[in-house]
């Protein structure tokens, strides 16, 4: 239930005005004036540096429908591709959108009427002020001129299910995330991904989990001399008891695995000794991943605290409502729960220290998804570890820069760079 709330969405694109050739002169003057004003505004507000909205059109995969690669409601899935340029023209970043999961037939049926389950109502997002998707070299020095793809999420199971079911009204609900993922990658291959010299698979939240699930199979699609890496943002979901002592998040994953038949993508090594639900948790999956991966997560991930640690708002613990809403409202007993939650995350990530070519940035800021927002990725109020922003650390890891790319923050509230303006 909780998994379907608050879909992760960026601002939808607004219509841009087209300039008519007849009035070019007057329009140019007016445009110049507006531009000067915008520049002045940009200089005056460091948090919203540059900001001409950047429209990247939505492409629907209508040809993939016959292969069964469809959204929950049977419509064609989509993606937005922004072409790279210059030194980035053969570099590709593929970002898998997030937005929770649906793990009952009813939830999925309802989700099929929303942008996270249907392309009927989906709007393109802007690549402006969007962190790792930004094309401004100052804001996004390592990836600004890459080919960038924002793959829309409309299956409800982290691009990983493969089955279908009949809803109460007799219509079919399609669980075809795996086919969507394959169809999108196939089409991108034809559009130039096949000739990439370097590729990065990323995603946040449910898309971060998808990145972890697909990292090795993505990498296997390229020749050995291509540099392929993965960056999972806010996708490190952990298996813990909630505040009422129940494994409610595990139960949600258990329903998800069964309903949407999430099995193909789970690591074989894990499945030999554990049940599929346990193998959907990143702590298990990363044990067998061979591709270099960067794990970006807060130890106090705001969404996980809501979904996983304190999901139950019907109980007597009203105080948890305000604590879940803002960590500043938590009392000392609650902070202890949160610290324990973080400890589990940190312990499960210990294996990363032994993995060559991996990186991590585990801050202690109350936030969720830090790559796709300019404010957290690289701004004056970005979370910093060792005085470095996420853009610095990820860039350094990506360029292969030696030591210091595995960073774990101290316990909340020790990090003075954690801003209350971050996305939660």
Ligand X SMILES: *[C@@H]1O[C@H](CO)[C@@H](O)[C@H](O)[C@H]1NC(C)=O
H or E element that contains 149: strand 147-151
| Peptide bond between residue 246 and the one before it cis (omega within 30 degrees of 0) | no
Handedness of CA 409, 410, 412, 418 (dihedral sign): negative
Q: Which has the closest alpha carbon to 6: 132, 76, 111?
A: 111
Q: Which is nearer to ligand X, 87 or 332 (CB)?
A: 332
Report the phi/psi class of residue 412: left, alpha or beta, with left for phi > 0 and alpha for psi in -120 to 50. Answer: beta
Q: Collect all residues with Cβ–Cβ distance below 8 Å to 401 and sequence separation of at least 6.
A: none
**242 catalytic, yes or no?**
no
Member of 387, 399, 402, 403 binding ligand X (CB under 6 A): 387
Catalytic residue among 301, 363, 392, 409: 301
Q: Which is nearer to ligand X, 11 or 195 (CB)?
A: 195
Q: Collect all residues with Cβ–Cβ distance below 8 Å to 386 and sequence separation of at least 6.
A: 404, 407
Q: Report CA 265 to chain centroid distance, whole Å.
A: 18
Q: Does 315 bind ligand X (CB under 6 A)?
A: yes
Q: Does 382 bind ligand X (CB under 6 A)?
A: no
CB of 72 to ligand X, least distance (A): 25
> What string marks each residue from 187 to 226 as x (binds ligand X by CB under 6 A) or -?
---x-x-xx-------------------------------
Phi, psi of 79 (to 5 degrees): -150, 165
Member of 164, 317, 325, 407 binding ligand X (CB under 6 A): 317
Q: Does 319 bind ligand X (CB under 6 A)?
A: yes
CB of 314 to ligand X, least distance (A): 5
Q: Does 275 bind ligand X (CB under 6 A)?
A: no
Q: Does 51 bind ligand X (CB under 6 A)?
A: no
Q: Does 420 bind ligand X (CB under 6 A)?
A: no
Q: Which has the closest alpha carbon to 296: 344, 347, 232, 207?
A: 232
**205 catalytic, yes or no?**
yes
Catalytic residue among 368, 379, 392, 398: 368
CB of 251 to ligand X, least distance (A): 8
- Distance, in Å, from the CA atom of 136 to the CA atom of 129, rounded to the nearest integer, reads 9
CB of 106 to ligand X, least distance (A): 17
Q: Does 20 bind ligand X (CB under 6 A)?
A: no
For tokens 């209508």, name the residue.
62
**392 catalytic, yes or no?**
no
Q: Does 312 bind ligand X (CB under 6 A)?
A: yes
- Distance, in Å, from the CA atom of 280 to the CA atom of 271, rounded to the nearest integer, reads 10
Longest distance between any two alpha carbons in the chain, whole Å = 72
> What string marks each residue from 243 to 272 as x (binds ligand X by CB under 6 A) or -?
-x-x-x------------------------
Q: Answer whether 189's CB lies under 8 Å from 196's CB.
A: no
Which pair of tokens denotes residue 229? 């890496």
Member of 5, 171, 172, 343 binding ligand X (CB under 6 A): 343
- Site residues for ligand X per CB under 6 A: 190, 192, 194-195, 244, 246, 248, 312, 314-317, 319, 331-334, 336, 339-340, 343, 387
Annotated active-site positions, please?
205, 301, 368
């Amino acid at each position: 239930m909780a998994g379907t709330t608050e879909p992760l969405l960026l601002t939808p694109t607004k219509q841009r005005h087209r300039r008519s050739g007849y009035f070019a002169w007057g329009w140019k003057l007016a445009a110049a004036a507006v531009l000067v004003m915008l520049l002045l505004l940009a200089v005056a507000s460091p948090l919203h540096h540059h900001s001409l909205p950047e429209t990247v059109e939505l492409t629907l995969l209508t040809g993939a429908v016959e292969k069964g690669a469809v959204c929950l409601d049977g419509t064609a899935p989509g993606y937005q591709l922004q072409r790279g340029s210059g030194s980035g023209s053969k570099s590709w970043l593929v970002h898998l959108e997030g937005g929770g999961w649906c793990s009952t037939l009813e939830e999925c049926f309802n989700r099929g009427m929303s942008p996270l389950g249907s392309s009927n109502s989906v709007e393109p997002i802007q690549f402006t002020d969007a962190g790792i998707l930004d094309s401004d070299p100052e804001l996004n020095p390592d990836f600004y001129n890459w080919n960038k793809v924002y793959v829309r999420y409309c299956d409800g199971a982290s691009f990983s299910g493969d089955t279908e079911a009949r809803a109460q009204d007799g219509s079919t609900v399609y669980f075809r995330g795996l086919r969507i993922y394959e169809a999108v990658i196939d089409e991108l291959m034809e559009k130039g991904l096949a000739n990439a010299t370097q590729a990065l698979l990323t995603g946040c939240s449910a898309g971060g989990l998808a990145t972890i699930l697909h990292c090795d199979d993505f990498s296997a699609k390229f020749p050995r001399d291509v540099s392929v890496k993965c960056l999972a943002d806010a996708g490190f979901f952990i298996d813990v008891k909630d505040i009422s002592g129940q494994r409610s998040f595990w139960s949600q994953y258990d329903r998800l695995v069964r309903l949407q038949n999430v099995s193909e993508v789970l690591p074989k090594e894990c499945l030999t000794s554990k049940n599929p639900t346990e193998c959907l948790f990143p702590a298990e999956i990363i044990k067998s991943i061979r591709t270099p991966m960067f794990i970006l997560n807060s130890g106090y991930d705001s969404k996980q605290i809501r979904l996983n640690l304190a999901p139950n708002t019907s109980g007597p613990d009203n105080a948890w409502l305000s604590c879940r809403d803002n960590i500043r409202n938590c009392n000392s007993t609650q902070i202890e729960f949160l610290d324990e939650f973080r400890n589990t995350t940190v312990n499960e990530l210990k294996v990363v220290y032994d993995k060559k070519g991996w990186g991590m940035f585990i801050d202690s800021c109350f936030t969720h998804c830090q790559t796709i927002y300019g404010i957290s990725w690289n701004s004056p109020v970005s979370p910093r570890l060792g005085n470095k922003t996420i853009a610095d650390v990820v860039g350094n890891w990506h360029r292969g820069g030696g030591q210091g790319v595995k960073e774990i923050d101290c316990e909340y509230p020790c990090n003075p760079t954690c801003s209350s303006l971050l996305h939660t």
